[in-house]
Amino acid sequence: MTKRSIFAVVGVTAIVVIILSYISIQGINKDVNDLSGVEGNNLDKITETIYPKDDDIISAAITTITPVVEKIKTTSDTIFVTKKYYNEDEKVVEEETGIPYYLTGMTEDELFDYTKNYMRNPNLSDRNQNIIEYSIESFSSEKVVLKKIYESINKEEYYYVTITDNYITIYKNDKVTLKETTGISVEQLNSEIVSILLEGVTVYGEQGIIELLENFTS
């Protein structure tokens, strides 16, 4: 083999080696790029897991607090007023007393239920006068006003109740004609009731007198 042939073989061999090396290097670079891409994607996912969105943080930090509102109730010191409206003669009678013991400690809703239940079975006096409504006109812990409306009136008279010579006395509606002096003295009454009676209270009928005296002395 001549020298020229030897150089030709060596040259071809060198070219083949260079080409193979280039192909190998390109393959390695591709694998590295693919791996880098996978790791980059995983890193993004990890980053999203570690760092929550701002909205999520704000939502978790908000705490809703519902205030507790105490309902207003009647007490033993509540002033109790009953207004009676008589449609037949368009007269209104207002009675102010201490609150009955069985209405003490009630909320407005509970008192509303009481008036509705009462209308299912009113007392004899109210039935005789054809009561058609019993409702709350105003409500607070200081004063309660209940309203009774009657379709027609009983033929009984109105009476005026006051204090005379330290005893509860009952007069005709003219406030002069004495009907009765009770045996109830001011010593048996609290100061608030005494003040009310000194101003005088108008009631309707015999049953009205009985109910008033019961409320004052209970």
pLDDT along the chain (218 residues), means of 10: 56 62 58 50 48 55 66 93 85 86 94 95 82 95 95 70 94 89 91 90 84 84
Structural domain tally of the chain?
A: 2
Q: Which domain holds residue 165?
A: 156-218
Nearest to 154 by CA among 132, 134, 125: 125
**pLDDT computed for residue 1 by the predictor:** 55
Strands (E), the chain: 79-86, 91-98, 131-139, 143-150, 158-164, 167-172, 178-185, 201-204
Are residues 89 and 146 both part of a single domain? yes
Are residues 149 and 177 both part of a single domain? no
Are residues 149 and 77 both part of a single domain? yes
**pLDDT computed for residue 43 by the predictor:** 43
Q: Looking at 136, 155, 174, which one is the last position of a domain? A: 155
Q: Looking at 100, 123, 155, which one is the last position of a domain? A: 155
Within 13 Å, how many C-alpha atoms sit on residue 2's CB side?
3
**pLDDT computed for residue 78 by the predictor:** 94
Are residues 176 and 213 both part of a single domain? yes
Are residues 144 and 162 both part of a single domain? no
Are residues 75 and 113 both part of a single domain? yes
**pLDDT computed for residue 45 by the predictor:** 47
pTM across the whole model: 0.46
